[in-house]
């Protein structure tokens, strides 16, 4: 149980800047996720928190205690590695017991805890096998079990489910979240899968190129992305972006889509932000679920496009529409009767639109994004 603070944390591998001066405060008992593409610095950050990487500059604090020079063993962290890192000559049971034994717990207590964790993670049948004799799923659960069998200051999960099939992944996600809430231990989860981050974490830090792009709850990140990177990275299907200009039309502000004559009324919430950007090129976007497609033109329709492809995904459908070469993705009912080449009219729920500056990528409307560091 610990509150973790990162101050101006830098990590350089020679000339390469992997982590660039990040600041963050993770609360005690919080389930926090570092989310980002490969190479964004999330694993480096986690390893610095664990003490497995030297900090180039900056500081890390556990509950107000500076831990820069504290060895991993003394930081009291538990880590689940992406590659499992099980001890090959030990059985599953011994692997699970390992972190408890080194701390000198009584054998009886150790045995009980191993039994308990094995039941939760469904490892009871394979307890006496060696890791290489078991399946990948068992190994992954053993790696997780070895991490959560202790009650450390913080759990560190480094993409532990990335090599697991989707069914097992869903199951384990739920179990881990439940366990973390039960023990109220601070947890940090590193992943590149935004669905996982949204499902598990209380707060998420979206990272790219060594910097935090946004830190906030899933709801904040989803509905108020700080920049285009975050907007595009989160959400399935991906965020739709259109180049457009703000124009005055009949006394109202409208977005005119570049390359065609379609206009979308600027919603109330964006009026102030775009008021001094009339005539400039901007990037406006909206999530797939806030567009309604119809196969016949209607009064409120904003854009006419062509059906590019329709995918029936069972519980819902994804329609991809072609507007002058730009592809827009729309969530529909699974029985949408569109065929390739059909014209389709799109109505946007304009109050859900976001506008970004095309040069900086920043959202023109900035909600208070908790970037931490004070």
Partner 1 sequence: MNRGRINWGKLAARLVIVGYLAFVVLPLIWLLLMSLKGPLDVMALPPKIIFKPTLENYRRLFLGTQRSQYEVARTDFPRALLNTVIVAGGATVLSLVTGVLAAYAFARFHFAGKESLAFTILSLRFAPALATLIPTYALYRRIGLYNTHIGLILISQVISMPLLIWVVRSYIESIPIECEQAALVDGYSWWGAFRIVVLPLASPGIAATSVLAFVFCWNNFIFGLFLAARQTQTLVVATLAFISYEQVLWGQMAAASVMTVIPAMAFIFMVQRWLVRGLTFGAVKA
Binding footprint of partner 1 on the chain (CB under 8 A): 50-52, 71-73, 77-79, 81, 83-89, 98-99, 102-103, 146
- Rounded to a whole number of angstroms, the minimum distance from the CB of residue 304 to partner 1 is 55
Residue 86 or 318 with smaller CB distance to partner 1? 86
- Rounded to a whole number of angstroms, the minimum distance from the CB of residue 277 to partner 1 is 50
- Rounded to a whole number of angstroms, the minimum distance from the CB of residue 81 to partner 1 is 5
Dihedral, 12, 15, 21, 26 alpha carbons, nearest 10: -30
As a 3-state breakdown, the chain gives helix, strand, coil percent values, each rounded to 5, of 30, 35, 35
Residue 56 or 294 with smaller CB distance to partner 1? 56
Residue 87 or 333 with smaller CB distance to partner 1? 87
- Rounded to a whole number of angstroms, the minimum distance from the CB of residue 95 to partner 1 is 9
- Rounded to a whole number of angstroms, the minimum distance from the CB of residue 125 to partner 1 is 23
Q: Are 118 and 126 in contact (CB under 8 A)?
A: no
Residue 82 or 211 with smaller CB distance to partner 1? 82
Residue 46 or 200 with smaller CB distance to partner 1? 46
- Rounded to a whole number of angstroms, the minimum distance from the CB of residue 279 to partner 1 is 56
* Number of separate helices (H) and strands (E) present in the chain: 10, 20
Residue 1 or 199 with smaller CB distance to partner 1? 1
DSSP 109: H
Q: Are 168 and 135 in contact (CB under 8 A)?
A: no
CA distance 302 to 345: 7
Q: Are 144 and 80 in contact (CB under 8 A)?
A: yes
Structure tokens at 354: 């976001």
CA distance 74 to 346: 59
- Rounded to a whole number of angstroms, the minimum distance from the CB of residue 36 to partner 1 is 21
Residue 73 or 313 with smaller CB distance to partner 1? 73
Q: Are 77 and 51 in contact (CB under 8 A)?
A: yes
- Rounded to a whole number of angstroms, the minimum distance from the CB of residue 359 to partner 1 is 41
DSSP-H helix ranges across 162-292: 166-183, 194-200, 218-223, 228-233, 268-274
Question: Quick one: angle between helices 166-183 and 136-148, nearest 10?
Answer: 10
Q: Are 116 and 124 in contact (CB under 8 A)?
A: no
Structure tokens at 136: 């990948």
- Rounded to a whole number of angstroms, the minimum distance from the CB of residue 200 to partner 1 is 21
Half-sphere exposure of 264 (CA within 13 A, CB side): 32
**Bridge-partner residues for 310, per DSSP?**
319
DSSP string, 49-101: HHTSS--SEEEEEETTEE-TT--HHHHTEEEE-TT----TTS-HHHHHHHHHH
Residue 102 or 106 with smaller CB distance to partner 1? 102
- Rounded to a whole number of angstroms, the minimum distance from the CB of residue 325 to partner 1 is 46
Q: Are 284 and 353 in contact (CB under 8 A)?
A: yes
CB neighbours of residue 268 within 10 Å: 9
Residue 95 or 350 with smaller CB distance to partner 1? 95
Residue 77 or 344 with smaller CB distance to partner 1? 77
Q: Does residue 107 sit in helix, strand or coil?
A: helix
């Amino acid at each position: 149980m610990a509150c973790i603070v990162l101050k101006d944390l830098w990590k350089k591998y020679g000339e390469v800047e992997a982590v660039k001066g990040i600041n963050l405060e993770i609360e005690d008992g919080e389930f926090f996720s570092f989310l980002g593409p490969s190479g964004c610095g999330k694993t480096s950050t986690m390893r610095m928190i664990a003490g497995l990487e030297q900090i180039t500059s900056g500081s890390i604090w556990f509950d107000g205690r500076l831990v820069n020079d504290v060895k991993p063993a003394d930081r009291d962290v538990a880590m689940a590695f992406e590659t499992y890192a099980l001890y090959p000559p030990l059985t599953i049971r011994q692997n699970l017991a390992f972190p408890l034994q080194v701390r000198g717990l009584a054998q009886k207590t150790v045995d009980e805890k191993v039994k308990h964790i094995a039941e939760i993670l469904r490892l009871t049948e394979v307890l006496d096998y060696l890791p290489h004799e078991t399946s990948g799923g068992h190994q992954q659960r053993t790696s997780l079990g070895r991490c959560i069998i202790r009650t450390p200051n913080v759990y560190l999960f480094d993409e532990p489910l990335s090599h697991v099939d989707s069914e097992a992944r869903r199951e384990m996600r739920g179990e881990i979240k439940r366990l973390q809430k039960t023990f109220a231990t601070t947890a940090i989860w590193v992943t590149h899968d935004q669905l996982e981050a949204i499902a598990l974490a209380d707060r998420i830090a979206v990272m790219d190129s060594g910097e935090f792009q946004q830190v906030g709850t899933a709801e904040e990140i989803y509905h108020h992305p700080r920049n285009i990177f975050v907007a595009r990275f989160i959400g399935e299907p991906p965020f739709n972006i259109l180049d457009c200009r703000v124009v005055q039309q009949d006394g109202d502000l409208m977005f005119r889509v570049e390359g065609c004559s379609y206009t979308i009324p600027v919603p109330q919430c964006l009026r102030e932000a775009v008021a001094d950007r009339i005539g400039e090129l901007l990037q406006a976007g909206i999530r797939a679920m806030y567009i309604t497609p119809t196969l016949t033109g209607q009064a409120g329709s904003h854009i006419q496009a062509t059906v590019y492809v329709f995918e029936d995904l069972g519980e819902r459908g994804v329609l991809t529409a072609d507007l002058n070469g730009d592809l827009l993705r729309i969530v529909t009912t699974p029985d949408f009767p569109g065929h390739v080449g059909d014209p389709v009219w799109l109505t946007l729920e304009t109050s859900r639109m976001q506008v970004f500056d095309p040069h900086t990528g920043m959202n023109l409307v900035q909600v208070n994004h908790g970037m931490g560091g004070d």
